[in-house]
Amino acid sequence: MKLGEFSKKVSEIIPSIHIAVLKSQPELISKTALTLQQLMLMETLRFMGPSKMSDVAKFLGVTKSAVTGLTDRLIKGKYVRRVSAKDDRRVIKLELTPKGKEFAEKMAEHRLDMIRKLFSNINEKDRAHYVDILLKIKQNIDQEERTK
């Protein structure tokens, strides 16, 4: 398949998969009224642990002011808190609260269940090949990030 045709197909398929995954967890999302950006910030903190706002902004590819706005709303919901760094009290880090950790873990578990369901009828060889392709894509993304 030529790159142009491949790109078009992938750009059509990925959003439909993403929407299907989001639709599959309405009970988690509707109870909280969290936005996709807030969920991404929480997932980032789950992945990175307590982090400086600038590091979160860089990881998400947004401005610090955007992270501040997202964080303020998550703090009001008691999902995230600001804490002083142990080594330098002037440095403020973001971390998930127990409520935020519990919610992020539920989201992660739901994602694992969804992946198991989606890939249950795909053979092991194809699943391994899919992971290999995802790793190559991640390497390309990492390489692009390093050149910025």
- Asked whether residue 120 is domain-assigned, the answer is yes
- Asked whether residue 8 is domain-assigned, the answer is no
What's the chain's average pLDDT?
A: 90
For the cut 90, the answer to whether the pLDDT of residue 63 exceeds it is: yes
- Could you give the strand order of the β-sheet that contains 92-96, starting from the edge strand earlier in sequence? 51-52, 92-96, 80-84
For the cut 70, the answer to whether the pLDDT of residue 28 exceeds it is: no
- Asked whether residue 110 is domain-assigned, the answer is yes
- Asked whether residue 130 is domain-assigned, the answer is yes
- Assigned token pair, 88: 């330098």
- Asked whether residue 56 is domain-assigned, the answer is yes
Could you tell me the pTM of the whole model? 0.77
Cross-strand partners of 69: none
Are 111 and 40 contacting, i.e. CB atoms less than 8 angstroms apart?
no
Domain count for the chain? 1
Q: Tell the residue number behind the tokens 């990881």, with chain if given.
A: 59
For the cut 80, the answer to whether the pLDDT of residue 2 exceeds it is: yes
Q: What is the pLDDT of residues 77-101, one digit of tens each?
A: 999 999 998 888 888 999 999 999 9
* 29: confidence class by pLDDT, cuts 50, 70, 90: low
H or E element that contains 11: helix 3-23
* 146: confidence class by pLDDT, cuts 50, 70, 90: confident
- Asked whether residue 1 is domain-assigned, the answer is no
CATH at residue 91: 1.10.10.10
Q: Which domain range does residue 108 map to? A: 34-146
For the cut 90, the answer to whether the pLDDT of residue 18 exceeds it is: no
How many other CB atoms are found less than 10 A from the CB of residue 100?
22
- Asked whether residue 39 is domain-assigned, the answer is yes
Q: What is the pLDDT of residues 31-61, one digit of tens each?
A: 677 888 898 999 999 999 999 999 999 989 8
* 131: confidence class by pLDDT, cuts 50, 70, 90: very high
Are 41 and 25 contacting, i.e. CB atoms less than 8 angstroms apart?
no
